[in-house]
Structure formats: structure tokens, C-alpha cells
Structure 1
Amino acid sequence: MFTDADAAALYDLVNPWDPGQWPSDAFYDELVRAAGSVLDVGCGTGAMLHLARAHGHRGRLVGLDPDPAALARARRRADIEWVQGTAADARGDAAFDLATIPGHAFQCLVDDAELRASLAAVHTALRSGGRFAFETRHPQARAWEGWNPSAVSDLVDTAGRALRLWHETESVVGDVVTFTGTTATAEGTVLRVDRTRLRFLTEEVLDKFLADAGFMAEARYGDWDGGPVTGRSREIITLARRR
């Protein structure tokens, strides 16, 4: 058996939150530390907020995620508010200085109605002038072309099991990519297959959605070192402000 709880623990092992090692984590960590109150949408296992609290953040921290197994791990720290729900549930009555959607989770908002509802909810949760930080993979980089079974990761999980992990793109329809993530034993016996759909938005389309929701783009970067978006950028990193 490979349970949802196993998958959540494996996520933390494969994706450790470490601002000292990963520039993307450092980007969000700096924003969170500077904000008096933070809403982390798609918080997963809560690692970003855990670290902020451990490093002395004294303001209100709230994590929102639809996955109960991930939230069960997040709730190991009880001095943070954890809420089960989707981005569209991000209500807060203008209570937050900062909202974040790290880890490319913004791309999980696939259809127009879902994206509009989510942006409207985040807008409602932020105070006037509050900031909204997130990133998407730039479609020009065609990241999905590297998601294939030849790119295998071998590791040992916290239960001592030797595992193999890989991703495989199933389809590309318009700006939506469907792919699977497979967890198997070292011998190749499949334990779990997770299917995900991601939307790859251009800057122009993204900014139209943001403007319609009442946001203005305050800053835009093409890499985690703060460089501009260019014809070679792999990321679209956005820091928006609530109007």
C-alpha cells in the first residue's frame, strides 16, 4: 500500500523547503517575513509557513489546501491556522497583507471560471494595497517536453522503501498540459499514479485575468534572481497589488 499520507510525506522529501538552497524559496521567504499577515493558498504540507513561524514570525499565518493528507502534516504545527479548501475558498474579509501561491500551483487553475473565482477570492482576502505573489512556468520553455519516463528519480522514503519516481506528459491541448506522476518500487512495480492538469498562460493573458480581478502587476521577473522576462525565460514570476 502507498497511501495519501505516504504521498504527502514523500512530497516533503522530494521538495524540501530551504530558502538557503533554493532561490525560489528565498523569494517567498523574504516576502512572508516582511508581511504582518499571510495567506498561503495551496499550502500543501505547510513547510513555508512552518519555517516562517520557526524563524519568529509573530503575525497571522493561514494555510489553505484541498488535500487532507497534506494538511494533516501541516497541522503538526498548531500555532498556524490550517483550512481545507480550494483557492476559490480564500475568503478573509480584507484581512491579509500578503497572499501567495508558490510551487507553480497557480497553474492548477485550469479553466477560466475557476481562475476568475480564485482570483476574486484572493482579492477579497487581501487588504487594500495588499500583495499577491505567485509564479507560472513560461510556455515558451515547453517544460512538459522534459516530463517523460527517461527522467527517473531514485530515492529512499522515510519508511525505508526504495522508490522510483517519474513524470510523463499525456496530452497538450491549447494551453493545458495533462501529465501523470508515477511512484513505483525500485524494481518497477507501480504503487501510485497521480494525474494533473496544468495551464500555461502567456504574460498577456495572465495580466488580463489579473486586471479583471482588480490587481495590478507591481513586478514581473523571468528568473529567481530578479532578472526580466526575456525570450529565454523559464518562469513568469508575478508580484501583484490589490487595487
Structure 2
Amino acid sequence: MDFTDDDVAELYDLTNPWDPDRWPSDRFYNGLVTAAGSTLDVGCGTGQMLHQARVRGHIGRLAGIDPDAAALGRARRRADVEWVEGRAADIAWHGEFDLATMTGHAFQCLLSDEEVRISLAGIRNALRNGGRFAFETRHPQARAWEQWAVGDSGDIAFSDGRVLRIQYRIEVRGDIVDTTEVTSLADGTVLREDTGGLRFLDVGPLNALLAGAGFEVEAQYGDWERGPVTPESREIITIARAA
């Protein structure tokens, strides 16, 4: 009983619906995209954010880049957005966008300083002078990974009638958390295991990498209501300006 890459992309949309009217994080980014004449979504996945921008009347230039071909297959259901397969390091645009975004904690998939530097260089090149880069990363002090390994997602009704569940195995090594996402049927039959890693950077190292790539931190928040970063913050939400 196969569970394909296309199935994974569909499951992502089922479990992570983009809704600015419901989710504060989506509302935060929707406001930035609405105000920008042109937006590049780095790690755009299935393209939900840019789809919704068009639905809500955005008439400017929208583009998304992602290395996942199956996710882009779903994104390309809208042809009025530019879709490119690749990573941040592959960005070939130069000075063409007012705003770049990385949503869904995609920034944490950059696991080394070098990978961050190369990715930030690509994003900086794509922005006009003074353009902004908005993204979020989970604050390491909140230790979010400790919750991921507890229990499972509960029942998820998939489009083909199967009832699915997702659970995680976690291993921590320094500031990197290795994850194994296990997708199974409700009876426990494992359909697929996907491995990955997420890096948990603190504010100081993060801002040093941004400065080295030619960005100035314009604002940094600890929550989606634009509160300050505090010892209780679960997020580091950053708006950086291309200097």
C-alpha cells in the first residue's frame, strides 16, 4: 500500500491549511505580502500562501521556489504565479522583489552556517535594495521538539478514504534536531518514514549570520502579535532589510 510523494504533498495541505482569518502566523505573512508589490516565497511548498494572495486580490508579481517536485506539482495548479524548482542557494533572480519570505519554519531546514550563508546570499540578490526578508524560526529555549515525540496526530481522513496518523521520532545533537516522520494507518500499519533535520538557532548567532549576508534586522518578535522576544518566547520572527 504505497504512500507516494504526491500523497505526502496532499497530506501536508490537509494538516497545514493556510488561513489568514484563522491562524495568526498566516495573517502576519498575508499582511506583508498584501503590502508588497512583488513577493518571492522561498521554500514555498504547495504554494498555499501565494494561492491565497491571488484569491484575495493581489495583482503584483508572485513567485515561489522549492526543491520538492511533488509539492510544486500542487502549487502549479495556479498558473498566475511563477514556480521554480530549487533551493534558496539556486535563486537566479537579481534585484527583482520587494519582499522575500520563508514560512512554516522552513529556515530551520538550513543545517549549517555555510548553508545559511549561501541561502541568504541568494535571497539578498533577489531583493531590491531596501527589500525585506521575513521568516521565523522556533526559539530553542521553548524546546518544541519535546512535544513532537509525545503521542500522534490523531485520525486524519485522507482523500482516498484511508484514515492516517503521523508521529515522530526525535534525536537531538547540539542545535540540530533530527526527525523521523512516520505516516501510518490508524491500525498502526506503517506506510512511510521520512527523515529530516531542523536547526534551532538563538537570536545572537542568527543575527550575526544575517548581518554577514548584508541584512539589517528591522524588527524581531517573539509571537505573531508582534510582541518582543522574551525568555518565554516560542518563536523568533524576523523582518530583515537588504542593506
TM range (shorter): over 0.9
Q: Is the 8 A contact 2:178 2:198 kept in 1?
A: yes
Give 4+ residue runs of structure 1 displaced > 2 Å after superposition.
none
- Deviation for aligned residue 1:149: 4.9
Which residue pairs with 1:227 in the alignment? 227
- What SS does the corresponding residue of 2:231 show, helix, strand or coil? coil
- What SS does the corresponding residue of 2:57 show, helix, strand or coil? coil
**Partners of 1:151 and 1:237 in 2: CA distance:** 27
Which residue pairs with 1:95 in the alignment? 96
**Residue ranges of structure 2 left out of the alignment (5+ in a row):** none
Tell me which amino acid in the other structure corresponds to 1:159: D
Corresponding position: 1:58 with 2:59? yes
- What SS does the corresponding residue of 2:29 show, helix, strand or coil? helix
- What SS does the corresponding residue of 2:152 show, helix, strand or coil? coil
**Partners of 2:217 and 2:33 in 1: CA distance:** 18
Which residue pairs with 2:81 in the alignment? 80
Q: 1:131 to 1:212 in 2, by over 3 A?
A: same
Q: Is the 8 A contact 1:36 1:59 kept in 2?
A: yes
- Which range moved further: 228-237 or 86-95? 86-95
Which residue pairs with 1:177 in the alignment? 177
Which residue pairs with 1:147 in the alignment? 148
Aligned length: 242
Q: Is the 8 A contact 1:132 1:239 kept in 2?
A: yes
- What SS does the corresponding residue of 1:73 show, helix, strand or coil? helix
- What SS does the corresponding residue of 2:123 show, helix, strand or coil? helix
Q: Is the 8 A contact 1:91 1:122 kept in 2?
A: no
Q: Is the 8 A contact 1:132 1:242 kept in 2?
A: yes
1:104-154: per-residue Cα shift (whole Å, max 9, x none)? 000000011111000000000000000000000000000111121523321
Mapping of 1:100-115 within 5 angstroms?
Answer: 100-115=101-116
Which residue pairs with 1:186 in the alignment? 186
- What SS does the corresponding residue of 2:155 show, helix, strand or coil? strand
Tell me which amino acid in the other structure corresponds to 1:190: V
Aligned-residue CA RMSD (Å): 0.8
Which residue pairs with 1:211 in the alignment? 211
Q: Is the 8 A contact 1:165 1:183 kept in 2?
A: yes
TM-score normalised per structure 2: 0.98
Q: Is the 8 A contact 2:46 2:75 kept in 1?
A: yes
**Partners of 2:206 and 2:114 in 1: CA distance:** 14
**Partners of 2:153 and 2:31 in 1: CA distance:** 32
**Residue ranges of structure 1 left out of the alignment (5+ in a row):** none
